[in-house]
Structure 1
Amino acid sequence: MAKKAGAADAAEQTGATTVVAKKTPGTATAAQTAVPKARIAAVEPGELAVRPGEDPWTPDEVEEARAGLQSEATRLSDEITASEEALVGLMRDSGDGAGDDQADTGTKNITREHEMALAANAREMLIQTERALDRLDAGTYGLCENCGNPIGKARMQAFPRATLCVECKQKQERRY
């Protein structure tokens, strides 16, 4: 509880609207982003942030980003469904292992764990994709969740789910 209070105090001091709670290294979980209030006010509705020297987002580029994210969300949902169906089959076929040798039992366990890992990864990516769509709708797409500076149009086009600018991402990776 003390960590939450300390984080809330830090957010208040920096002018952040909310605090992003870290669950595991590299995965942020929050309904909203910790973008400084001044940055949100600086972005006009319908206008996305870019770095100095970059061309502004055109309506076609915004729609292309939105379509790509929606397509990715659909693909990930289908992948999750397929993984869950495969897991149901693996669980049903696992039985009690009677008559299986150790290698068969081990192979079944590895296959089941692999499918569970794939499903978990797809779920995490779906959450990131949905958050990116929410940020696109809110006009905060392309703003770093850590420092509030523009992430960069080229980075957002290359990795549409990006939540951190290059500098903050590098700092994060050095910590872990």
Structure 2
Amino acid sequence: MLAVRAGEEPWTEAEVDEARAELMSEVLRLRGEIHSSEDALAGLMRDSGDGAGDDQADTGTKNITREHEMALTANAREMLSQSERALERLDSGTYGVCERCGEAIGKARMQAFPRATLCVECKQKEERRY
């Protein structure tokens, strides 16, 4: 039985299956996105060569494009990690439990943001620190 907040209905099997399917779909999408980004990066690295004949604008554009692609890949990797972790928590029965305070995150929050690991209160405290 997955955690819920006071006043919330327990998770139904269909809702758990829906959460799992959404997370699995996200994992597959992100893996594909990472693969495409890695291919694009490899192409950028291959095409950049030694830069002979490039003017400063060409070199700058190539660097910005490469950095942008690297940032997108890093973001996709982080989201993939979060999604895989959510699936592990779903399998272990800890899905919906705040990793900081141990209270229920809330079914509605989990349905809106399936990768959540913190309840709203703990997330707000975390955000105020930064």
TM-score by length of 1: 0.74
Q: Tell me, in whole angstroms, the C-alpha distance in 2 between the residues paired with 1:149 and 1:125.
A: 23
Q: Does 1:164 align with 2:101?
A: no
Give the structure 2 partner of residue 85 of structure 1: 39
Report Cα offsets for 1:104-134 as digits up to 9, x if no partner.
Answer: 0000000000000101110010000000000
Map 1:29-44 to 2 at 5 A: none
Q: Tell me, in whole angstroms, the C-alpha distance in 2 between the residues paired with 1:62 and 1:86.
A: 36
Give the structure 2 partner of residue 142 of structure 1: 96
Read off the aligned partner of 2:13 and give its amino acid letter. Answer: P
Structure number having the greater helix percentage:
2
The equivalent position to 2:24 in structure 1, one of 47, 70, 76, is 70
Q: Does 1:49 align with 2:10?
A: no
Give the structure 2 partner of residue 38 of structure 1: none
Q: Tell me, in whole angstroms, the C-alpha distance in 2 between the residues paired with 1:66 and 1:170.
A: 26
Q: Which has the higher contact order (CA 8 A, sep 6+)?
A: 2
Quote the sequence identity (%): 80
RMSD, matched Cα: 0.3
Read off the aligned partner of 2:23 and give its amino acid letter. Answer: L
Q: Tell me, in whole angstroms, the C-alpha distance in 2 between the residues paired with 1:88 and 1:95.
A: 11
Deviation at 1:96, TM superposition (A): 1.0
TM-score by length of 2: 0.99
Give the structure 2 partner of residue 59 of structure 1: 13
Q: Tell me, in whole angstroms, the C-alpha distance in 2 between the residues paired with 1:115 and 1:85.
A: 10
Q: Which runs of 4+ in 1 moved over 4 A?
A: none
Q: Tell me, in whole angstroms, the C-alpha distance in 2 between the residues paired with 1:160 and 1:106.
A: 39
Map 1:5-24 to 2 at 5 A: none
Report Cα offsets for 1:3-42 as digits up to 9, x if no partner.
Answer: xxxxxxxxxxxxxxxxxxxxxxxxxxxxxxxxxxxxxxxx
Q: Does 1:97 align with 2:51?
A: yes
Q: Does 1:152 align with 2:106?
A: yes
Map 1:104-115 to 2 at 5 A: 104-115=58-69
The equivalent position to 1:118 in structure 2, one of 69, 72, 97, is 72
Matched position secondary structure for 2:3: coil
Q: Tell me, in whole angstroms, the C-alpha distance in 2 between the residues paired with 1:86 and 1:96.
A: 18
